């Protein structure tokens, strides 16, 4: 008995603890996506930064594990899937460390990062079993366009064409797409397909998608892989277009059309796209997600006008459709996704004054309001937040016509000048015609204001609320 000394007992105790820990350890997969240019890379970088630098000036008051001093430390560890690109945290942080700081480069495709968070369990059963527990967090970053493609799984080529052409025939797309549509309408859909012509038309359609996104600031871009082809660049599967003339062709003729006909070739490729691109994303990634963050920049559409804003609304509706499982659902034929929490975050809250934040949140709430009602509340918890992943402005007051008004100071992206402005008020509700006619809002893009060191926490707005919603319940 004398042989079992204190050191050995400690060792055994620690080993037992280790074993227990391992079985009690929790694991969660956070999926992060964003609608065009919502600041996905900055968001993930800040989220990781807040956790790994906790204590070094971090402001995470609303994150219960920090508030209640349960949080011990977080570190990056080897990611889950070696064949998936690594989310390049170091390079993204470097952008904020540089003098002067800048926004990190956007990512393309899917990337991963894994965090191990050590904490002291408090309220749960774990408390009595162990001193320390680990929550493993897999963050998966993927383009919002891939999420917007999911509803295609439930649509035939005819249905998808009608929906897509419906969009093309409305302002603001119509002006740009008219000549494309006219060209397609001239083709006899039952003629033998001219593959070169299909290539040409799909290139023209892809170019339209780029213009919709970059110049018009639109969110509904389908098929998403057309503008982010990755390894499929040059493959025929990315060469099809919506067919605008279903009203004028016979349904039987369409059903019987050979795969070698113009319409038949489009249909074949649409189906292959669904199977090889959309369903593959669904099965390899989507069904493994535990929680989803959707970032949306509501301010740019607000600035661009009614049509851009309506497009954002439609994009959000399409996204909610993907989560609307149950009786009449898209996913009845597929495995159920296991997502239990869905966070919509309106980013760039630092680009408006503090007094407008609650309006931004209400506005986002209104955007998802209708669809939210159709969601199965028991299955998915939803939340909306107005956030700034990395705060780029300083809030202040200025005297305007004898009154103290809130203003922002920041480094304007367009000319790198430090300016002080009041960007305007954000409507609390979905804006009506009157709002657009008066054009209240003046969105100005800012660069990050001050460099930080690699080990410092990035300034932010409500990233602690984000963490609380996404991770808080798993660290009790």
CB of 112 to a copy of itself, least distance (A): 9
Residue of 10, 18, 69, 90 interacting with a copy of itself (CB under 8 A): 90
Contact residue for a copy of itself among 82, 252, 401, 403 (CB under 8 A) = 82
Q: Which residues contact 276 (CB under 8 A, 6 or more apart)?
A: 237
Residue 100 CA: distances (Å) to CA of 24, 41, 272, 451: 44, 18, 47, 6
Q: Are 70 and 84 in contact (CB under 8 A)?
A: no
CA distance 122 to 167: 52
Q: Is 472 in the site for a copy of itself (CB under 8 A)?
A: no
CA angle 366, 369, 375 (to 5 degrees): 160
Question: Considering beta carbons, is residue 109 or 406 the nearer one to a copy of itself?
Answer: 109
Residue 88 binds to a copy of itself (criterion: CB under 8 A): yes
- The DSSP symbol for 101 reads -
Q: How far is the CB of 85 from a copy of itself (least distance, A)?
A: 4
Q: 201, 209, 221, 237: which one contacts a copy of itself (CB under 8 A)?
A: 237
Report strand pairing: 26-34 vs 111-119. Answer: unpaired
| Lookup: tokens for 403 | 């009154």
Beta bridge partners of 138: 29, 114
Strand bridging mode 291-296 / 341-346: parallel
417, with CB counted inside 10 A (0-12, 13-18, 19+), is exposed
What is the size of the binding site for a copy of itself (CB under 8 A)?
28
- Name which position in 55, 57, 100, 230 contacts a copy of itself (CB under 8 A): 230
Residue 268, interface with a copy of itself (CB under 8 A)? yes
Q: Output DSSP code: residue 461.
A: B
* Residue 132 near a copy of itself by CB under 8 A: no
Q: Per CB under 8 A, which of residues 168..197 are in contact with a copy of itself?
A: 193, 195-196
User: Which CB, 172 or 264, lies closer to a copy of itself?
Assistant: 264
Q: Residue from 67, 86, 183, 279 that binds a copy of itself (CB under 8 A)?
A: 86
Of 6, 83, 327, 417, the one binding a copy of itself (CB under 8 A) is: 83
Peptide bond into 100 cis (omega under 30): yes
Closer Cβ to a copy of itself, 260 or 338, answer by number? 260
Q: Which of 29, 38, 53, 79 binds a copy of itself (CB under 8 A)?
A: 79
Sites of contact with a copy of itself (CB under 8 A): 78-79, 82-86, 88, 90, 109, 111, 193, 195-196, 230-237, 260, 265, 268-269, 272, 276
């Amino acid at each position: 008995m004398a042989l079992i000394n204190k050191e050995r007992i400690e060792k055994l105790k620690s080993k037992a603890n280790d074993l227990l820990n391992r079985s009690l350890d929790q694991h969660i997969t956070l999926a992060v996506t964003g609608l065009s240019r919502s600041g996905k890379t900055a968001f993930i970088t800040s989220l990781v930064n807040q956790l790994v630098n906790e204590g070094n000036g971090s402001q995470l008051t609303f994150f219960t594990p920090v508030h209640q001093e349960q949080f011990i430390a977080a570190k990056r560890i080897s990611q889950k899937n070696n064949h998936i690109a690594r989310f390049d945290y170091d390079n993204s942080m470097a952008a904020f460390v540089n003098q002067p700081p800048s926004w990190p480069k956007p990512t393309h495709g899917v990337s991963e990062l894994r965090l191990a968070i050590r904490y002291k369990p408090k309220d749960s059963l774990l408390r009595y079993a162990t001193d320390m527990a680990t929550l493993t967090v897999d963050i998966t970053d993927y383009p919002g366009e891939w999420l917007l493609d999911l509803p295609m799984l439930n649509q035939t080529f005819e249905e998808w064409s009608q929906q897509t052409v419906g969009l093309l025939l409305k302002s603001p797309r119509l002006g740009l797409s008219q000549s494309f549509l006219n060209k397609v309408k001239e083709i006899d859909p039952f003629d033998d397909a001219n593959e070169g012509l299909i290539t040409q038309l799909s290139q023209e359609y892809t170019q339209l998608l780029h213009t919709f996104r970059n110049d018009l600031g639109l969110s509904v871009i389908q098929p998403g892989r057309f503008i982010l082809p990755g390894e499929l660049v040059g493959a025929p599967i990315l060469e099809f277009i919506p067919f605008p003339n279903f009203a004028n062709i016979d349904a039987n003729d369409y059903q019987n059309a050979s795969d070698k006909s113009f319409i038949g070739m489009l249909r074949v490729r649409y189906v292959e796209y669904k199977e090889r691109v959309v369903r593959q994303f669904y099965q390899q990634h989507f069904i493994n997600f535990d929680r989803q963050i959707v970032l949306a920049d509501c301010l740019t559409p607000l600035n661009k006008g009614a049509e851009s804003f309506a497009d954002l609304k439609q994009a959000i509706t399409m996204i909610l459709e993907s989560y609307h499982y149950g009786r009449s659902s898209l996913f009845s034929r597929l495995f159920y996704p296991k997502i239990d929490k869905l966070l919509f975050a309106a980013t760039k809250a630092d680009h408006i004054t503090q007094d407008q934040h609650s309006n931004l949140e209400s506005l986002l709430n209104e955007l998802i309001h209708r669809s939210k009602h159709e969601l199965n509340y028991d299955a998915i918890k939803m939340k909306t937040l107005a956030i700034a992943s990395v705060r780029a402005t300083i809030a202040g007051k200025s005297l305007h016509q004898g009154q103290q008004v809130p203003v922002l100071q920041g480094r304007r992206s367009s000319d790198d000048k430090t300016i002080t402005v009041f960007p305007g008020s954000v409507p609390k509700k979905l804006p009506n015609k009157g709002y657009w006619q008066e054009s209240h809002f003046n969105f100005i893009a800012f660069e990050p204001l001050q460099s930080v060191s690699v080990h410092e926490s990035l300034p932010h707005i409500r990233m602690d609320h984000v963490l609380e919603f996404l991770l808080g319940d798993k660290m009790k």
